[in-house]
Amino acid sequence: MLKIENLKKSFTQGDRNIEVLKGLNLNLDPGVTAAVLGTSGSGKSTLLSLLAGIDIPDSGTMNFQGTDLAKLSEQERTKLRGEKIGIIFQQFHLIPHLSALENVCLPLEILASGDDPIVKGKKILEDVGLAHRLDHFPGQLSGGEKQRVAIARAMVMEPELLLADEPSGSLDEETGENVMKLIFSMVEQRGTSLILVTHDERLAKTCDRIHRLQNGALSLAL
Ligand SMILES: Nc1ncnc2c1ncn2[C@@H]1O[C@H](COP(=O)(O)OP(=O)(O)O)[C@@H](O)[C@H]1O
Ligand SMILES: [Mg+2]
């Protein structure tokens, strides 16, 4: 479903050019959970931002279900991301002035999928255990609850690929573990492919495959 070949990305900082991804390859089959394990600064978030279409690579291909993500226009990338790729960040990235339900309904409204956003949004917030928090704003929710809202928002479009960037990274251990259990159970139930970016070896082991991001390239550890 996803085949990344020879992906390169560098940034300029002042007069320095930093090569972050130096010809990265990755193959992901449908329904597979894959961990990308790497130390801080190794380029994990850079990789996810390219996959999510938030940033564009210098060169290389990212073939997702027959479409090269690197060749799409900004508008096409936004549409494809909205329909087929869900994203969860370490810092939740919820919209502060929207309620939990409004945050979750937003992708459905933007893409006008035909489903009733409120019905679908309520259902998925129930699935993540937040039926009693529909009208709360992010500022009124705990870290774990905020991440559950973000999970619901990422999964409400029933994406084929879920990208998660250290989703338990800013939560305490127990809350983080519960959030990860929820992510795994949701992707398993729906057959969603998962790329989980983490620096946590133990967490990486809960995925079907472990890839190590080192010196700008990925190697398969399992
Ligand atoms: N927008 C940017 N501009 C300049 N440098 C960046 C940018 N984004 C990331 N980098 C650099 O790329 C490297 C990898 O960053 P990142 O992908 O965030 O690593 P990780 O998520 O593995 O901690 C770091 O050295 C970082 O400073
Ligand atoms: Mg990062």
Q: Is the pLDDT of residue 121 over 70?
A: yes
**Residue 194: which domain range?**
2-220
Q: Does the Cβ of 211 fall within 6 Å of ligand 1?
A: no
At 170, list the tokens.
């800013």
Query: Could you tell me the pTM of the whole model?
Result: 0.95
Determine the distance separating the centroid of ligand 2 and the alpha carbon of 176, expressed in angstroms. Answer: 17
pLDDT tens for 25-34 read: 999 999 999 9
Which atom of ligand 1 is found nearest the CA of 46?
17
Counted domains in the chain = 1
Q: Given pLDDT bands bounded at 50, 70 and 90, which one contains residue 222?
A: low
Q: Does the Cβ of 41 fall within 6 Å of ligand 1?
A: yes
SS3 112: coil
Average pLDDT, the chain: 95
Residue indicated by tokens 């939560």: 171
Q: Does the Cβ of 43 fall within 6 Å of ligand 1?
A: yes
Give the CATH number, domain containing residue 136.
Answer: 3.40.50.300
The answer to whether the CB of 54 falls within 8 A of the CB of 93 is no
What is the distance between the alpha carbons of residues 68 and 66, in angstroms, rounded to a whole number? 7
pLDDT tens for 49-85 read: 999 999 999 999 999 999 999 999 999 998 898 899 9
Name the closest ligand to CA 37.
1
pLDDT tens for 151-188 read: 999 999 999 999 999 999 999 999 999 999 999 999 99
Determine the distance separating the centroid of ligand 1 and the alpha carbon of 2, expressed in angstroms. Answer: 23
